[in-house]
Amino acid sequence: MSDYVIQQVINGLSLGSLYALVAIGFSLIYGVVRLVNFAHGDLMMIGSFITLGLVASGYTPWVVVPLVVMFGGFLAGGMIERVAFRSIRGAPMITGFIVTLSVSVALQNLGLMVLGPQPRNFSFPALFRERISLGTADIAIIDLTIPAAAIVLALVLTLFIRRTRLGIAMRAVSENMLAARLMGISLDRIVFLAFGLGGALAAIAGLFWGGKFGQIDPLMGLVPGLKAFVATIIGGVGSVGGALLGGYVLGFAEIAFVGFLPPEYSGYRDAFVFALLILILLVRPQGLLGRDEEERA
Amino acid sequence: MTGFALSQRQALLLLLLVTGVAVGLLEGFGSGYLRTLAALSLINVLLAVSLTMTNGFTGLFSLGHPAFMTIGAYVAVIFTYPAGRKSFAMPDLPEIFGSIEWPLPLAALIGALAAGLAGRLIGLTVLRLRTHYLAVATLGLIIVVQTLALNLDGFTRGGRGLTGIPRDATLPLIAVCTVVVIVLCWRLKHASIGRAMMAVRENEMAARCFGIDAFRLKLFAFTLGAAIAGFGGALLPHVVSVMSPKSFGLIMAFNLIAIIVVGGQGSIIGAIVAALAISLGSEALRPLEETLGLYGMTQVAVAAALIVVLLWRPKGLFGLDEPGVRTE
Amino acid sequence: MLEVKDIHLQRGRTPVLRGLDLAVGAGEVAALIGANGAGKTSTLMALSGLLPVASGSATLAGPDGPIDITRSDPAALVAAGLIHCPEGRQVFAQLSVEENLRLGAYLNRDAARIAELRDRAFDLFPILAERRHLPAGGLSGGEQMMLAVARALMAEPRVLLLDEPSLGLAPQVTETIFDTLRDLNRQQGMTLLVVEQNAMLALEIAHRGFVMQDGRIVHSGSGAELLGDAALLEAYLGVSA
C-alpha cells in the first residue's frame, strides 16, 4: 500500500475516533431520554478548554489531565441536564430540541463572553508530537493514540452497560421508562448518569481534538457536534456500537473525500458530510445497525 | 382581555396606518441609525411571519430559513451589484450578467424565485423526515449552502464577502414588503388552506383520513417560506451594504426560532410583536455588551429567555391565537 | 395493609378516579373488577406512585408505621415492598430473562440473596430457567407473564399489585398463573390486589372483591358473594355467569 493511502487510513481512524467518541455520548443520551441533544458538541468544546486550563496552570501532570478532563465533562454533562433538561422531560420532542438548541447557543456565547473569540491552543507533551514510521509512511503518534483511546473507552463503556447494575438499569430505562420506575430505578439518577457519561466522552474528544488540530475556540463544538449527529444516524440511533461504527464510517468518508479528490474540492468537505446525512435519512434512516424505528412522516 | 376585538378589515387598516405613520416620521425626522434599525427590525418581522407560516401552521420544524436567505441574497446581488465592479468581485459571472444593473425589487423577486425553487427541490427530499431529523437536515442545509457560497468564490467572493452593495432597500420599500408578507400569511392562515395546514399540525394522521394531502401542504408551506426567506435575505444586504456567506447562519436560525417560539408558534401577531421586541431589545442591550466587554451576552439573554418561555408557556405567548382580532 | 380513602385523580383534565375507597388486609387477596374504562389501571398506578393523586389518602402499612403513598415516589414504594406488575406484562424485551430478574431485585445489594431469589424464581417457573439467557422479547405471551410475575417476586413484595394478568393469554396458561398466585398467597401470606377484566378468574381466588365503575367502587363483598351474584356481575360487567 502506498504511503499516501496509509496516511489517509490513519487520518480516517483518527478523525473517525473523535466523531465516534462524541457520537457514542450522543447516542447514549438519545437512547435514554429520546432527546436530540444539540448542545452535545459544545461539551467537546468544554473539554478542550478544561484541558487548556489545566495545561496553562502548569500544576497538573499530563498523566492526570485526561482523567480530570473526563471528570469535568461528566459533571458538566450532568449539570446541564439538571439545570436545563430535567424540567422538559416528557415534553414534546420539538420543545426538547429547541431547548437543547438554546443551551447550545447559550454555551457558545458564554464561552465567547468569558474566553473571547480568538482561537487558543495547547500542546500535547513532546512524545505525542513525535512521528514514527509505519512501513515507509510517516505517522504522528497522536494519530495512533486517539483510536487506541477511543477503542478502550468504548470497550469500558460497553462492559459497564452490559455487566453492571447501573448499566443494566440504563438499558432498561432506554427501553421502557415506566417499567423501569416500577423496579425502583431512579430516573433522575440514570438520566444524570447518561448525560454525565456522554459529557465525559465528549470532553476527552475535546482534549484530543485540541491536541491534534492545535486550535480551539468557543464555537468549535458546533460543526463536530452536527457531524457526530450524522455519525449516529449512519450507525443507527440508540446503539453504542452503531455510534462507534458511524463515527468511523464518517471519518473515513470525509478523509476519502478530501484525500482522493482534487484539492480544489476540499473546502466542500462539510457540504459533503451533510449531503451524506440527507442521503442516509432518505435511503436507510435506521442506519447501518439500527432497528427499524419509524422515521418517516 | 376585554371583549374588545377588531374586525379583520379594521386590523388591516390599523396596521397600514401605524406602519405608514411610523415610516413617515422616521423618514422625515429619524436619524440614519434609527432608520436602519427600523429597516432591520421590519425585515425580522417579515422573516418571522414567514417562518410562522412555514413552521407554525403545519407544525413542521425547519431551521433552513437562513439557507434560503443566502440563496436569495446572492442571486439578487448578482443583479443589483454595480456593473463596473462586477467583473472584479465576481470574476466567474457570465458576461450577460456583467453589464446589467437591475432595481432591487426585481432582483429580490428573482432571488425569491431562486430560493423558492431550491426550497421546492429540498422540500421534496427532506419533508418526509420526522421532526428532529428534519430539523437537523435543515440545519445541515445551512452549512451546505454556506460551504457552497464560501467555495464558489468566483461568483460570491467567498469568505472575503461582498462590499459596496447598493443601499437600495429604503425603509418605505421594506415596510411595503413587510406589510404585503403579513397580509399574505394572514389571508393564508384564515383561508381553507390555512385551516387544512393546522389540521395537519394538530393530528396529521387524522387529517389524512379526511383526504388532506399533508405532504403537499407541507411542501407548499416550505416552498413559500423559502421564497419569502429568499426575498428577505435579498433585502438585508441592501440595507447594510455588506454580505458574506456567514451572514445568515445558525445565529439567525436560532433568533428566528426564538421569535416564533416566544410569540406563539402559529400566531402572526405574536410573531410581529416578538420580532420587534427581540430586535429592538437586542439592539438596546448592545451598548451594555460593549461597555462590559461581554460580547455574546445578548445572545445568551435571548437563549435564556427562550428556555424560560418554553418552560412557562410552552405554546409561546399567544399560541395559535391572534389576540384582539376577530377571526371567525 | 392497604388503605385507600376518597381518592380523586385526573389524567390531564379528565377526572378518572372520583372518590375511590378500598381496603386490603394483610394476607388477603383482593380482586378489583369492572368494565373497561372504569379506572382500574389508574388505581394501581396511583397506588404505586406513578400517577399523582389530586386528593384523598392512601396508606401502606409498614414496619415503621404507615407510609403515605400519595407522597411517595415509585422507588420508595418498591423499597417498602409494594410491587406493581403492570398491564401488558412490560418485560424488558431486549434484555435477557436473567437480566429482567436481576432488575426486579434492583434495590437489593445483596448478591447472594439475589442469586437465591433467582433460583427460587426458576424453581417456580422452570421454563424461565430454560430460557434464561434469551431476550425476553422472544418469549411467548404466557412465558412473559411468568417472567413479569417472577420479576416482581424478585423484589420480595409484601403487597403485589397485578394489572390484568390474564390479558391475551390462553386459558391454560392463565390457570397456571392464577394457581401460582393463589399458592403464593396461601404459602407465603403475600397480599395481592388483582385487577381483572375476567371477573370470574379473579373472584375465584379472592377473599374480597371490589366492583369499580366510573372511578369509584360501587359494590364490594367477599369473593364468594360476588361470584354467586349473577345479577351484579351482569349489571356491571356484562358477564353472564
Q: Helix or strand or coil: residue A296? A: strand
Does residue A296 sit within a domain? no
Does residue B326 sit within a domain? no
C-alpha span between B39 and B238 (Å, rounded): 10
Q: Which of A270, A271, A295 sits opposite B129 (nearest CB)?
A: A295
What region does C206 belong to: left with phi over 0, alpha with psi -120 to 50, or beta?
Answer: beta
- Kindly give, in sequence order, each residue whose CB lies less than 8 Å from that of residue A100, ignoring residues fewer than 6 positions away: A35, A36, A37, A38, A39, A84, A85
Q: Which of C86, C102, C155 sits opposite A179 (nearest CB)?
A: C86
- Can you say how many angstroms the Cα of residue A236 is from the centroid of all Cα atoms in its chain? 15
Mean pLDDT of chain B: 85
Query: Which residues in B lie closer than 8 A to residue A109 (C-beta atoms)?
Result: 296-297, 299-300, 303
C-alpha span between B102 and B116 (Å, rounded): 20
Q: Helix or strand or coil: residue C221? A: strand
Which residues of chain B are at the A interface, by a Cβ-Cβ cutoff of 8 Å? 61, 125-133, 135-137, 139-141, 143-144, 147-148, 150-151, 204, 214-215, 250-251, 254, 257-258, 261, 294-297, 299-300, 302-304, 306-307, 310-311, 314
Does residue A73 sit within a domain? yes
Does residue B265 sit within a domain? no
Does residue B283 sit within a domain? no
Locate B18 and state its grid cell: 401605524
Q: Which of C103, C109, C153 to mutate to test the interface with A (most CBs of A within 10 A)?
A: C103
Q: What is the pLDDT of residue B327?
A: 67
Q: Which of A269, A281, A292 to mutate to test the interface with B (most CBs of B within 10 A)?
A: A281
Distance from CA of C104 to the nearest CA of A (A): 6
Distance from CA of A189 to the nearest CA of C (A): 12
For A127-136, how does the pLDDT look when each residue is reduced to its tens digit (9 = 90+)? 777 777 766 7
Instruction: Name which of A255, A272, A203, A257 is nearest A7 in CA terms.
Output: A255
Does residue A132 sit within a domain? yes
Q: pLDDT category, B28, cuts 50, 70, 90?
A: confident
Q: How far is the CA of B233 from the CAs of A196, A262, B163, B225, C34, in angstroms?
A: 40, 33, 16, 12, 63
Does residue A39 sit within a domain? yes
C-alpha span between B55 and B225 (Å, rounded): 9
User: Is pLDDT at A296 greater than 50 in this prediction?
Assistant: no
C-alpha span between B88 and A9 (Å, rounded): 41
Q: Strand C208-213 and strand C67-68: pairing?
A: unpaired
Distance from CA of A93 to the nearest CA of B (A): 7
Residue C132, amino acid: R
* H-assigned helices in chain B: 8-29, 32-51, 58, 65-80, 83-89, 95-98, 104-126, 131-151, 153-156, 171-190, 192-202, 204-209, 214-235, 237-240, 250-263, 268-292, 297-312
C-alpha span between B242 and C91 (Å, rounded): 61
Distance from CA of B2 to the nearest CA of A (A): 31
Query: Which residues in A lie closer than 8 A to residue B278 (C-beta atoms)?
Result: none
Contact assignment for A181 to C50 by CB distance below 8 Å: yes
Q: What is the pLDDT of residue B27?
A: 82
Q: What is the pLDDT of residue A294?
A: 43
Query: Which residues in A lie closer than 8 A to residue B307 (C-beta atoms)?
Result: 84, 99, 102-103, 106
Nearest CA in chain B to A278: B137
Residue with cell 445565529: B251
Does residue B176 sit within a domain? yes
Does residue A103 sit within a domain? yes
Contact assignment for C75 to A168 by CB distance below 8 Å: no
**Most confident among A170-184, B80-94, B309-323, C60-74 (mean pLDDT):** A170-184
Contact assignment for A95 to B314 by CB distance below 8 Å: yes
Q: Which domain holds residue A59?
A: 3-219
Contact assignment for C90 to A168 by CB distance below 8 Å: no
**Most confident among A37-46, A81-90, B265-274 (mean pLDDT):** A37-46
C-alpha span between A123 and A116 (Å, rounded): 20
Q: pLDDT category, A193, cuts 50, 70, 90?
A: very high
Q: Flag the least confident range among A85-94, A270-279, A288-297.
A: A288-297
Neighbours of chain B (3+ CB pairs under 8 A): A
Distance from CA of A10 to the nearest CA of C (A): 36
Contact assignment for A182 to C78 by CB distance below 8 Å: yes
For chain A, the domain total comes to 1
Contact assignment for A268 to B151 by CB distance below 8 Å: yes
Q: What is the pLDDT of residue B4?
A: 66
Name which residue leads in pLDDT, B266 or B72.
B72
Distance from CA of B53 to the nearest CA of A (A): 17
C-alpha span between C115 and C120 (Å, rounded): 9
Does residue B97 sit within a domain? yes
Does residue A234 sit within a domain? no
Q: What is the pLDDT of residue A1?
A: 59
Which A residues, 148 through 177, put their C-beta within 8 Å of a C-beta on chain C?
A: 165, 168-169, 171-172, 175-176
8 A C-beta contact, residue B169 and residue B238: yes
Q: Which of A162, A165, A173, A182 to mutate to test the interface with C (most CBs of C within 10 A)?
A: A182
Q: Helix or strand or coil: residue C152? A: helix
Instruction: Name which of B5, B106, B115, B110 is nearest B50 in CA terms.
Output: B115
For C223-240, how does the pLDDT look when each residue is reduced to its tens digit (9 = 90+)? 888 877 777 777 776 655
Contact assignment for A109 to B151 by CB distance below 8 Å: no
The total number of residues shown for chain C amounts to 241
Average pLDDT value for residue range B117-139: 86
DSSP E strands in C14-60: the ranges are 14-24, 29-34, 55-60
Q: Flag the least confident range among A56-60, A289-293, B70-74.
A: A289-293
Contact with chain A for residue C86, Cβ under 8 A: yes
C-alpha span between C202 and C166 (Å, rounded): 9
Spell out, as residue ranges, where chain C has pLDDT lower than 50.
Answer: 241
C-alpha span between A9 and A166 (Å, rounded): 37
Instruction: Name which of A242, B265, A233, B119 is nearest B274 in CA terms.
Output: B265
Does residue A275 sit within a domain? no
Instruction: Name which of A197, A191, A250 is nearest A43 in CA terms.
Output: A197
Q: pLDDT category, A295, cuts 50, 70, 90?
A: very low
Query: Which residues in A lie closer than 8 A to residue C113 (C-beta atoms)?
Result: none
CB neighbours of residue B301 within 10 Å? 18
Does residue B38 sit within a domain? yes
8 A C-beta contact, residue A22 and residue A205: yes
Nearest CA in chain C to A169: C103
For chain B, the domain total comes to 1
Nearest CA in chain C to A176: C92
User: Is pLDDT at B2 greater than 70 in this prediction?
Assistant: no
C-alpha span between B181 and B196 (Å, rounded): 20
C-alpha span between B221 and B211 (Å, rounded): 18
Rounded to the nearest 5°, which phi and psi values hold at C229?
-90, 85
Q: What is the pLDDT of residue A148?
A: 92
Contact assignment for C95 to A185 by CB distance below 8 Å: no
Q: pLDDT category, A17, cuts 50, 70, 90?
A: very high
For B168-180, how does the pLDDT look when each residue is reduced to its tens digit (9 = 90+)? 888 888 899 999 9
Contact assignment for A175 to C107 by CB distance below 8 Å: no
Query: Which residues in B lie closer than 8 A to residue A233 (C-beta atoms)?
Result: 133
Q: Flag the least confident range among A72-81, B89-98, B216-225, C10-19.
A: B89-98
Q: What is the pLDDT of residue C34?
A: 85
Q: pLDDT category, A297, cuts 50, 70, 90?
A: very low
Residue with cell 475516533: A17
Contact with chain C for residue A181, Cβ under 8 A: yes
DSSP state of A268: G
Neighbours of chain A (3+ CB pairs under 8 A): B, C
SS3 content of chain C, % helix, strand, coil (to 5): 40, 25, 30
Nearest CA in chain A to B315: A95
- Kindly give, in sequence order, each residue whose CB lies less than 8 Å from that of residue B95, ignoring residues fewer than 6 positions away: none
Instruction: Name which of C185, C115, C114, C172 is nearest C145 in CA terms.
Output: C172
Contact assignment for A168 to C74 by CB distance below 8 Å: no
C-alpha span between C235 and C224 (Å, rounded): 17
C-alpha span between A254 and A275 (Å, rounded): 12
In terms of Cβ atoms closer than 10 Å to its own Cβ (0-12, 13-18, 19+), residue B39 is buried
Contact assignment for A183 to C106 by CB distance below 8 Å: yes
Q: Flag the least confident range among A146-155, A230-239, B104-113, B119-128.
A: A230-239
User: Is pLDDT at B1 greater than 60 in this prediction?
Assistant: no
Contact with chain A for residue C114, Cβ under 8 A: no
* H-assigned helices in C56-170: 74-79, 97-104, 111-124, 126-130, 141-153
Nearest CA in chain A to B123: A278
Q: Which domain holds residue B122?
A: 31-249
Mean pLDDT of chain A: 86
Nearest CA in chain A to B200: A297
Q: Helix or strand or coil: residue C134? A: coil
Does residue A112 sit within a domain? yes
8 A C-beta contact, residue B18 and residue B175: no
Query: Looking at this predicted complex, what is its ipTM?
Result: 0.89
Listing from the earlier edge strand, what are the strands of the sheet with C208-213? Answer: C82-85, C159-163, C191-196, C29-34, C208-213, C216-222
Q: Which of A88, A112, A270 sits opposite B143 (nearest CB)?
A: A270
8 A C-beta contact, residue C17 and residue C9: yes
Contact assignment for B143 to A226 by CB distance below 8 Å: yes
Q: Which of C96, C106, C118, C151 to mutate to test the interface with A (most CBs of A within 10 A)?
A: C106
Q: Helix or strand or coil: residue A261? A: coil
C-alpha span between B189 and B195 (Å, rounded): 7
C-alpha span between C100 and C135 (Å, rounded): 9
8 A C-beta contact, residue B85 and residue B62: no
Percent of chain A with pLDDT strictly greater than 90: 39
